[in-house]
Amino acid sequence: MSEPKRSAMRVADSDRENIARVLYEAMGAGRITAGELETRLDAVYAAKTFAEFEPVVADLASGGALALSHPGDGEQGGRRSFAVMSATTRRFDGPLPPRHVTRAFWGSVRLDLRHARIADGSCVIRAVAVMGGVRIVVPEDFALDVRGIGLMGGFGSGRGTGRLRPTPGAPVLRVTGFAWWGSVKVIRKPAEPRRRSHRGRG
């Protein structure tokens, strides 16, 4: 990270998740506290360049942990939801942002998308579960592309997600990320009758 050109490079969302993984593992090993984790994660997700990662992990990881992502991985401007030793439920009613990041650490996040819509053809949700769980409930007309990594955990789609074949041109929900001693699951459920509900704000 000492090369000026590399330090000045803009980071991608996948680069932020690489650093977040280092922090989660450090917390699991007892090297940092829950408060330190939250403070450092705030810095990671606010970072614009690789130079801003250096003070966050200087006492935890070698430069190898700050590897560049592949070109095209880094769509900027995601919205977020998270749970740290707690449970969070978010219900979206209206257009989804193009990209959403959700994190669960020793807790759970449930995203209910049954009354949401994908305005621009596709939406990417990056889900990270560390000793916790993320459950994403989707409507029956979304096409799904679920690709993630389970490390001593599970990442995938639940029962019912393959029983329907959305029509060609259906909006696509892509779910990526990883689960470490936790789980990320995508399930289909019929939409409930509309009622007054909390709107998710990213």
Distance CA 109, CA 84 (A): 9
pLDDT digits (tens, 9 = 90+) for 12-50: 877 787 787 788 777 767 788 877 887 888 888 888 888
- Using DSSP, state whether 28 is helix, strand or coil: helix
Task: Work out the angle between the directed axes of helices 34-46 and 13-28 (0-180°, nearest 10).
Answer: 170
Distance CA 56, CA 2 (A): 15
Q: What is the pLDDT at residue 34?
A: 75
- Give which of 29, 18, 36 is closest to 149, Cα–Cα: 18
Examine the pLDDT at 67 and tell me if it is beyond 60: no
- Using DSSP, state whether 40 is helix, strand or coil: helix
pLDDT digits (tens, 9 = 90+) for 79-102: 778 787 788 888 888 888 888 888
What ranges in 29-65 are assigned the alpha helix state H?
34-46, 54-57
Least confident of 63-67, 117-121, 192-196: 63-67
129: which residues sit within 8 A by CB, 6+ positions away?
Answer: 103, 104, 153, 177, 178, 179, 180, 182, 183, 184
pLDDT digits (tens, 9 = 90+) for 117-171: 888 788 899 898 888 999 999 988 888 888 888 878 888 876 555 444 556 677 8
| 86 vs 69 pLDDT, higher one | 86
Q: What is the pLDDT at residue 181?
A: 85
pTM for this predicted structure:
0.59
Residues 113, 173: contact at Cβ < 8 Å? yes
Q: What is the pLDDT at residue 135?
A: 94
Q: Which residues of 118-142 are buried (b: 16+ CB within 10 A; e: fewer)?
A: beeeebbbbbbbbbbbbbbbbbeeb
pLDDT digits (tens, 9 = 90+) for 170-189: 788 999 888 888 899 999 88
Phi then psi for residue 35, to 5 deg, are: -65, -40
Residues 66, 89: contact at Cβ < 8 Å? no
- Give which of 38, 114, 52, 121 is closest to 80, Cα–Cα: 38
- Using DSSP, state whether 41 is helix, strand or coil: helix
| 124 vs 61 pLDDT, higher one | 124
DSSP string, 144-197: EEE--EEESSEEEE-TTTTS--PPTT--EEEEEEEEESSEEEEEE-PPPPP---
